[in-house]
Structure 1
Amino acid sequence: MVKKVPDGKQLLTKNTVITNDTVVKNERVESLISQKPNGKLLGFPLRLGLYNIAKDNPDSLYYAWLERKPNRRENLAKILSNKQVDRLSQSFLVSGLSRFLKKTGEAPVIIDSIKIGTTKNRLQGFYSNQGFFDAKVTAKVDSVGVKRAEITYHVETGKGYIIDSISKRIETPALDSLFVKTQPRSLIKKGEQFNDEKFDAERTRLTTYFRNHGVYDFQVNHVRYDVITSEKDTNIDIVYDIEDRKIKRGDTLVKTPFKIYKISQVNIFTNSPIKKGKYKISDSVVYNNYNIYSIGKLNYKPKAITDAIFIEKGNYFSDNDKTLTSRSLSNLKVFNFPNIEYIEDLSTEDENDLVANIYLIPLKKKNLNASIDFNHSNIQDFGITGNLSLTFRNFFRRAETLEISTRGNIGSSRDLPNPNGTFFNLSEYGADVKLTFPRIFFPFKTTSIIKKEMLPTTQMSFGLTNQKNIGLDKENFTSIINYNWLPKDDTTIRYDLLNIQFVRNLNIDNYFNVYNSSYNRLNDLAQVYDTTGTYLDPSTGNLTNTSAVGFIDAVLNGSIPINNQSSDFNSIRSIGERRKRLIENNLIVSSAFTYNKNTRKGFLDNTFYAIKAKIESAGNLVSLFAKQVPQPESDNGNETLFGIEYAQYVKGEVDLIKHWDLGKKNILAFRTFGGIAIPYGNANSIPFSRSYFAGGSNDNRGWQAYGLGPGSSGGINDFNEANLKLAASVEYRFNIVGKINGGLFVDAGNIWNVFDNVEDKSYTFNGIESLKDIAVGTGIGLRYDFDFFVFRIDFGYKAYNPAKEQSERWFKDINFSKTVLNFGINYPF
C-alpha cells in the first residue's frame, strides 16, 4: 500500500484523539481532523489499491516501448499511420485504464505537518467553545512500519469555566421589558459550564421571541455577550449586551431605539406581483379589515383568501404570522408562493405602525399535465405508468381544485401465470375525479378542534379502474371523502369519513389457471377419487376449469364419497372455500383514522423516526342501511346490499421506522410492523384487498411476494394472505465507493389467520407458541444512488424457514442456488 508514497514521507494509517487520558470516538471530534486515512471496504483500502495499480506516466512508457526496438514505430506506422501510432498513447489500452483507476481510486494520504497544526487549532477551539478555555493540544507521530505512521492527538482540557452570574445591559426600554418576560426560559443558567452552542441557541431564541412580539427590525447579530473571566478561579460572569440599532444617515451611523410595531393595514393584491400604484386597480373590496385589490374583476370570494391569512390588523408584527400565512396561502394551491412585505405606515401619526402588503400570483386556472413513470412493487417487477390530468383551479371561486385524470399501466410479473410468455402480462387503466377544498367541508363548525393554522383540506374523489393482474381481472369503483390536517409540522392526520370500494371480478372462469397450486392439488385428488372419470377430460385425463368446480361440489354433496374427517376431504373443502372467497365481488364501506409522524428534517437527515398508526372500521353504516331495505341473503346465509355481500370488520395497524446515522455514510435502519383485521357480523373473512401478505422486496426478502405463510403452512397457495401480520427488519447501510452503496439485512415476520373461518392450526395464530413460525430472511444488497432515486438489488436467503421440520429450519437454504433476487426502487424502509 506504500508503493506511491515518496521516500522520506509516511502514509497516514490511523488518527487517535485522547482527551484527559480517555480515547475519544466521537464523530463530531473526528470531523475536526483535517487529514484522515484512506477509506476502507471491509478493512481493506480498496480505492488506494486501485490507485497504486495505475501507471504514473503511461504515455511516456508507451513511447519508451516504441523506441526500445529498432523499426518498431516504422512497422506500426505501415499498418496504422504515424498519426494513429501517436494516438495510441491516449487510448484506453495504453493510458485510459490508468486514468480510470486514478479517478476511481484514491491517492495515498501523506502526513502533512501543516494539517496537523490545523487539527490542533480546531481541537483547541472545540474544547474552548465547551468551556475549557485553558485546553492544550499536542500531537505525536509514531511510525508503525515502512513508510507508515499514525498520529495521536493529546488534549488536556483543564477545568471547565462555570457561569457565576448573569446580568444584562439593554439600551431600549421596551426591549428590556420583553427580555424580562422571557428570561425564565433562557437556555443560559447559573452554575452551568460555559457552552458556546447554548449561547448561539439563546441568540436565536431571543431573536425569535422579539420578532414574534413586534420588534420588526431585530436581527440575531444584535444579541452580544460579554464574558468576564477571573484570574483567581474558573468562574465567569455573563452580560447580555443589546445596544440600540444603528441607522446610517448620510455618512454617519446614528443609534435609534428599537420599536414595537403593530399592523395598521393588510393589503392583498390578488393577481399581480406589481406593487400597488404601478397598475390601475379596477376592483377592490374591504372584508374583515382586509383590503383586497384586483387588476380586472376579482375572481375570488374574499373569505376564501382571508381565511388563509394570519396577519391581522391591530396585532403586533409576528414572524410566526407571516410564516403561517405563506404556508396557508400556498396550501390553497391556486397561487404561487406569496410575496409578503412590510413597510412603515406614513399615513398615521403613530410611528410604530406597519402596513403588510401581500402579493399573490395566480396559477393557471386550467392546466393539462401528462407524465410517465417507471415503477416497481411487490407484485410488479417492472411497470410503466402513464397519466393524463386536467386541473381546474378556483373552481367555485373559493380556491377549490377540481382534477380529472386518466391513467394506464402495463407491467411485468414473474409471479403471475404467463402461458404465452409475454413480457407485459398485467395491465390497468382507469379514471378519477377529485375535488379538493382548502378547509373542512362539514355541516358543523370544526374550527375549535381543527384550527385553520393546521392547514385542513377536504378531498372528495371518485374512481373507476379496470385491471388485469392476478388473472381474474377486476373492475374497481371507489368513492372517498377524507379530511387531512397538520397539528404539528412533523405530524399529519387523515380521517376517511367514507370510503366505498366495490370490486367486481370479470373473469372467474380463469380461477384455476391463476391459482395453479390449488388446481394441481385438486387434480391429484381427482385422479384418486373420480373413479368413473366423470370430471376428467378424456383427452388429457385431467380436470378442466369447469369440471374442477363440479368435482368440488360432488365431493361436498356426497356424490363422490370421501370420509369427511379425512385430510383429503378437508383439503378439497378448503380449496372450494378459498375459491368462493376470492371470486366473490366485494362491497367495502369503511371509515378510517390515520396518524403519521415523521421527524426527518431533510433529505440529508439520517437520524429520525417515523410512525404510522391506522384504525379502520367497515360495514357498520351499510349494515344499518341493509336492515332498512330488506335484501335476499347470499348463498352463505349473509346479508346483502344490491345483491352483494358487504364486508364487516375492524382493522388496526402500526408501522414504526427508526434510522441512526453512524457517521461516514453508515446508517442503521430498523422497521417493525403489526396489523390485524378482525371480521365480525356479516363476515367471517377479510376481503383479499384488505388482507396481509408477506415476502417481497419491501418485506421479508428471503421469500418472493405472497410466498411466505400463513404460519407454518409453507406458502402452498399461489397468493398466500391472512388477516394478522407481524414483521421487523434491520438493515446496515454503508458506502462502497462513490455512489455505490451496500446493505446487510435481516428480515423477520409472518402472517397468520385469526378469528376467521380458517381452522387449520398450521395457518392460524395459536398464542405465544405461534411465534416459532416467525420466518427469518437475511442477505446482502447493492444500491446505486442516482440522486433523485436509488436503484436496489437485494440477494435474500431463508435463514429460518418455519415451513420445514424443526431440525431443518435453521440455515438449510443459505446457498447461492437458493438466492431470492429482489429488485427495487429506493430503500425498502
Structure 2
Amino acid sequence: MRGSLGLMRNVTKIGLLLLILSVAGCNTLKKVGDDELLLTKNSIYVDEEKVNDSEIKGLITQKPNSNVLGYPLRLNLYNLAKENPDSSFQDWLHRKEKREKRLNNLLSQKQVNRLQESFIVKGASDFLKRIGEPPVVIDTALTRKSLERLEAYYRSKGYFNNSGNYGILEGKRKKRAELEYKLNLGKPFIIDTVQKNISSPELDSIYDASLDLTLVKEGDQFDLANFNQERERLTTLFRNSGVYNFQESSISYDILRDTTQLADDQLMDVQLNIKKFRSTSDSTDVNSPYRIHHLKKINIYADYVIGGETDSLQSLEYDNYTIFYKDRLRYNPKALTDAIFFQKDSIYRDLDRIRTYRQITNLNTFKYPNIEFIPDTTQTQLISNVYLAPRPKFSLNLDFDVTHSNIQQVGTAFSTSVITRNVFGGAETLNISARGSIGLLSDASLFSDEPFTSELGGDVNITFPRIWFPFNTEKIIPYYMLPQSRLSAGTNFQRNIGLDKQSLNSILSYNWSPSTQLKHNVELLNVEFVRNTNPDNFYNVYRNTYRNLDNIADAFEQDPAFADFFEEVDNEDDPFQLTIPEGANKFVDTVLNNNIILDPDDLNEVNRINERRQRLTENNLIFASNYTFFKNSRVDINDNNFYQFRVKLEGAGNFLSLISNVVPYNKNDRDQLLVFGVPFSQYFKTEFDFIRHWDVDDSKVIAFRSFFGLAVPYGNSDNIPFVRSYFGGGSNDNRAWNAYELGPGKTNNLNDFNEANLKLALNLEYRFPIAGDVKGALFADAGNIWNVFDNEDNPDAIFTGFSSLADIALGTGLGLRYDFTYFVFRLDVGFKAYDPARQGSDRWFSGYNLKNAVFNIGINYPF
C-alpha cells in the first residue's frame, strides 16, 4: 500500500511538471525574433500532386520543431533556458546594494564565484539547451538548398529538365509560416540503347553471360539508383568469378546525349565503361587488364601471433591444405579445413572469403581471422594465407544481480561459468555453469514458515561446430550455413517457491543459418523431468483455489462429523477454516465419495479443484522434439523498418507411446502409462509469431506484433503441463493485466496462476522521442488465453469458435523509456479498456483510472 501511495505521488509530480511545461508552452515564440518566422510545416507538390513519401521529405534541410503528440516539448524546454545565465546572475547579485557583501560573508567570495557556475545558475540552462531544441526559423538560404536537393533527386530519376520554386505562406498566427515546394517534372528520359566498352576480354565474357540479370535495360526510364545497384551487382559478379582485385571505381557510365536539349522522343543512349585495373606501386601508376585468378596454394597458420615469426613453424599437408603450427598441432586438421571454403585450383570467389570469415568466427576458438591473398608473377594465380590467432583455452564469467518480483521483496542472484575451448581438438566448446539465488518472501505466511526462498542449479553444455549425427549431413547442411550441435544437461532446485521443485533436463539440438536472415533450430531431444518436492503446500500457494474450496466447506463447519476438517483462526468473517493440507484433502475426498451432498455447481467446482491439484502437484516427464524456423529482415540495430517471423512445431510423448507397444508400461488409476512411475506428457504444440516495424520519420516507429499458440493434448494426457502452457498479462504481453491474471476466456482471475493451452495476442505500439535519451510510447494490447481440446469443463474458459473472440481483452496505455545505449529501461502504465470478465457495458472502460492501472517495469522493448 505504501508503495502504491508513493507511486501515486510520483505520478502527481509528473502531472504537475507537464502542467508547468504546458503553461510555458504558451510562449512558444519566446526566442523567435521580430523579423523571423517559425517554421510550422513543409509541403511538397510535384505536378500539382502532394507528396508524402518519407524519402523525398527527408531531402528538406529545415524541418519544423519536433513534437510529442502535437506538443512542442523540446522547443519549450529550450525556451525555459536562460540565454545568458552569467549576466542574469550578476544582475541579480548587484540588484541590491549589500547582497554581494552579505553572500561573501556567508559563503566566502570564492564560493560565490563557484555559485555562478553551479547547476542552479548555469547548469540547468545548459541542460535544458542540451535536451531541448532551438526554434526552427525559416532560412531562405537553406530553403533554396532544399529546393536544389529536390530538383537533383528528380534529375536522378530521369527528369533532367525539371524546374521548381518555393513559397512562404504566413498564416493567421503571428510569426509563424509554412514552406511550400512546387516542382514541374516534364517528360522523363528513356534508355534507348546500352553500349559497352570493357577493356578486359575475360570480364566482357562474364558480363555477356549475366545480361539477363542487368538492372540497366533498354526501354526503362533513367534511374540513377539502378545504375548504382548495377555497379554493385557487377562488382559482386566479377569478384565471385575469379577477379579477386576488382574495384567498383573501375565501372562508369556515359550518357551519349545532351539532356539539356528538349526533344519529342526523350531517348538517350548509355555506354558502360569498365577500365583496366589501376594500382600504385613505388609511386608509379600501373594499369593492366583484369584477369581471372585461381588458387594455387592455401596456407593455414593455426598458432598465429601478431608480429611473431613464421619461419620456425612446423607444417603438415592435409587435403590440399598446408597447416603451420608451433610445437604440436592442437586441432584436428579436418576441423580447420572444414572452416576454409577455398579449394586448391578453383577460381577465387569473394563469397568463399566471406563464408570463411563467418565460419571461423562461429568456431568460437579463434579471434577474428586475417586472410591474405598474394598473386604470383603470372597475375593469374593466388597464394592464400589464413592466419588464426587462438582465443584463451579457458575463460571465467561471474555475474551478480539484485531482483524483485511479486513473490520476493528483494533477492540476490549469482552465476558463474567456466568455458573450455577446443575440448576434443575439433573446436568444441564446453561450458560448465552454476547459479544460485536467495530472496526474502513478500508474504512468508502464504508459502512457508521460513521467510527466505532459495534456488540452486547447474548446467553442462557442449557445442560442436558441425552436425553431430550418425549420418553425413554435409550435402544437406553445408558448413557455410554455420551448423552447430549442442548437447546439454542440467538440474535446478527451488525451495519455498511454489511447491518446491526439482527439475532435470537434457537437450540435443541442432541449428544452422543458410543466410544472415534465416535460422533453423531442431531439438531432436528435449527431456525434462519436474518433481514437486512439497505437494502438501498446494493450498498455501494457490490461495484463490483454497478460498473457493473453503467457502463451499463453510456450510459444514458446525457439523460434528466433520469437525476434524477445520481449525479455529483469528478471522471475524470466517473463524473456522479447513486445515492445510489434511482438512482440505479430506473434505474433497468426502465430497467425491458422495458422503457429502452438494448442489451440482459446487460439486463441479470441487471436482475441478481436485483435478487442478492433481495436475499441479503430480510430477511431469516431458519427452519432446521441436523445430523452429526464424526469419529476420533487419539489417542492423539502426534499421527501424523490418519484420521478424517465427514458427515453432513441437511434439511430445510420441516416441515413448510408440515403444510402449514393445515394452509394456505400468499404468496409474487414471489409465495413464508410467515411465519410472511418472505419467509422461503427450501433446502437439504450434506457435506463430510475427513482428513488423515501420519507420515513420524523425525516429518515430510503429511496432506491431501478433502471436498465436495452440497446444493439443492427446493419448497419454488430457491437459498440457504447466511449464508448457500459456498465460496472459505482464510486461511483454497485455500490459493492463499482471502476469497470469488474464483469462482464461471470460473468467475473472479464478486461480492464482491462470494458464491455458490456446493463446492469441496482438500488440500495437507507437514509439517517439521526447528529449535526449528519453523516449515515449502509446500502446494497445489485445488478446487472451482459452482452454480447448482438454479436460476443462468451465464454459467461460473454453474457446468454442468465433463467438469466443468477444472475450479478447483490450488494454491501452503509455510508456516512458530511457535508452542506456546497451539496454533500454522501460516503465509502462496499462489501463483496462475492455475487460471480458465483466458483464455488458461494464466491460468498457470501467476500470480506466490510475487506481486500477497496472505498472510494468521491463528491460528493452517488448517486441
**TM-score, length-normalised on structure 2?**
0.91
Per-residue displacement from partner, 1:71-124 (whole Å, max 9, x unpaired)? Answer: 343344443344444444334444443333333322222222322232222222
In the alignment, is the contact (CA less than 8 A) between 1:639 and 1:682 conserved in 2? yes
The residue number in structure 1 matching 2:14 is none
**Identity of matched residues, %:** 45
**Which amino acid in the other structure matches residue 267 of structure 1?**
N
The residue number in structure 2 matching 1:433 is 460
The DSSP-based 3-state class of the residue aligned with 1:650 is strand
The residue number in structure 2 matching 1:515 is 542
Q: After the TM superposition, which residues 225-374 of structure 1 pair with which residues of structure 2 at under 5 Å, given as runs?
A: 225-230=253-258, 231=261, 233=263, 234-248=266-280, 252-273=284-305, 278-282=310-314, 284-346=315-377, 350-373=378-401
In the alignment, is the contact (CA less than 8 A) between 2:406 and 2:442 conserved in 1? no
Shift of 1:151: 2.1
User: Which residue, out of 682, 686, 692, partners 2:716?
Assistant: 682
The DSSP-based 3-state class of the residue aligned with 1:534 is helix
Question: Structure 1 residues 264 and 378, CA, compared in 2 at 3 Å: closer, same or farther?
Answer: farther
In the alignment, is the contact (CA less than 8 A) between 1:631 and 1:642 conserved in 2? no
The residue number in structure 1 matching 2:3 is none
**Which amino acid in the other structure matches residue 545 of structure 2?**
S
1:481 is the counterpart of 2:508: yes
In the alignment, is the contact (CA less than 8 A) between 1:460 and 1:481 conserved in 2? yes
Per-residue displacement from partner, 1:168-217 (whole Å, max 9, x unpaired)? Answer: 00111111111111121001111111111111110000000000000122
The residue number in structure 1 matching 2:585 is 549
**Counterparts of 1:335 and 1:75, CA distance in 2:** 69
Q: Which moved more, 1:444-453 or 1:89-98?
A: 89-98
The DSSP-based 3-state class of the residue aligned with 1:780 is strand
Q: Which moved more, 1:441-450 or 1:51-60?
A: 51-60
**Counterparts of 1:276 and 1:190, CA distance in 2:** 56
**Counterparts of 1:473 and 1:393, CA distance in 2:** 36
1:450 is the counterpart of 2:482: no
**Counterparts of 2:546 and 2:381, CA distance in 1:** 81
The residue number in structure 1 matching 2:696 is 662
In the alignment, is the contact (CA less than 8 A) between 2:132 and 2:771 conserved in 1? no
1:560 is the counterpart of 2:592: no
In the alignment, is the contact (CA less than 8 A) between 2:742 and 2:754 conserved in 1? yes
**Counterparts of 1:808 and 1:317, CA distance in 2:** 71
1:184 is the counterpart of 2:216: no
Q: Which moved more, 1:769-778 or 1:457-466?
A: 769-778
Q: Which moved more, 1:606-615 or 1:404-413?
A: 404-413
Question: Structure 1 residues 400 and 117, CA, compared in 2 at 3 Å: closer, same or farther?
Answer: same
Per-residue displacement from partner, 1:255-313 (whole Å, max 9, x unpaired)? Answer: 3111110001111110114589634023x221111111111101111111111211000
Question: Structure 1 residues 18 and 637, CA, compared in 2 at 3 Å: closer, same or farther?
Answer: same
1:127 is the counterpart of 2:154: yes
**Counterparts of 1:749 and 1:415, CA distance in 2:** 31
Count of residue correspondences: 822
User: Which residue, out of 196, 199, 209, partners 1:168?
Assistant: 196
Gaps of 5+ in 1: none
User: Which residue, out of 86, 89, 101, partners 1:62?
Assistant: 89
**Counterparts of 1:685 and 1:615, CA distance in 2:** 18
Q: Which moved more, 1:693-702 or 1:246-255?
A: 246-255
Question: Structure 1 residues 411 and 609, CA, compared in 2 at 3 Å: closer, same or farther?
Answer: farther
**Counterparts of 1:489 and 1:92, CA distance in 2:** 48
The DSSP-based 3-state class of the residue aligned with 2:503 is strand
**Counterparts of 1:307 and 1:70, CA distance in 2:** 86
**Which amino acid in the other structure matches residue 492 of structure 1?**
K
Question: Structure 1 residues 225 and 523, CA, compared in 2 at 3 Å: closer, same or farther?
Answer: same
In the alignment, is the contact (CA less than 8 A) between 1:378 and 1:696 conserved in 2? no
Per-residue displacement from partner, 1:479-498 (whole Å, max 9, x unpaired)? Answer: 11111111232111111111
In the alignment, is the contact (CA less than 8 A) between 1:626 and 1:640 conserved in 2? no
Per-residue displacement from partner, 1:695-749 (whole Å, max 9, x unpaired)? Answer: 1111111111000111112121001111111111111111111111111111111
**Which amino acid in the other structure matches residue 153 of structure 1?**
Y
Question: Structure 1 residues 492 and 381, CA, compared in 2 at 3 Å: closer, same or farther?
Answer: farther
Shift of 1:226: 0.4
The residue number in structure 1 matching 2:767 is 733
**Counterparts of 1:381 and 1:19, CA distance in 2:** 62
**Which amino acid in the other structure matches residue 432 of structure 2?**
I
The residue number in structure 1 matching 2:21 is none
Gaps of 5+ in 2: 1-27, 570-574
Q: After the TM superposition, which residues 192-211 of structure 1 pair with which residues of structure 2 at under 5 Å, given as runs?
A: 192-211=220-239
Shift of 1:378: 9.7
Q: Which moved more, 1:692-701 or 1:265-274?
A: 265-274
Shift of 1:405: 1.0
In the alignment, is the contact (CA less than 8 A) between 1:377 and 1:824 conserved in 2? no
**Counterparts of 2:83 and 2:640, CA distance in 1:** 39
In the alignment, is the contact (CA less than 8 A) between 2:447 and 2:497 conserved in 1? no
Q: After the TM superposition, which residues 749-768 of structure 1 pair with which residues of structure 2 at under 5 Å, given as runs?
A: 749-768=783-802
**Which amino acid in the other structure matches residue 560 of structure 1?**
I
**Which amino acid in the other structure matches residue 635 of structure 1?**
D
Question: Structure 1 residues 513 and 418, CA, compared in 2 at 3 Å: closer, same or farther?
Answer: closer
**TM-score, length-normalised on structure 1?**
0.95
RMSD: 2.3
Question: Structure 1 residues 286 and 773, CA, compared in 2 at 3 Å: closer, same or farther?
Answer: same
1:19 is the counterpart of 2:46: yes
**Counterparts of 1:169 and 1:53, CA distance in 2:** 64
Shift of 1:3: 2.1
**Counterparts of 2:464 and 2:496, CA distance in 1:** 34
In the alignment, is the contact (CA less than 8 A) between 1:456 and 1:484 conserved in 2? yes
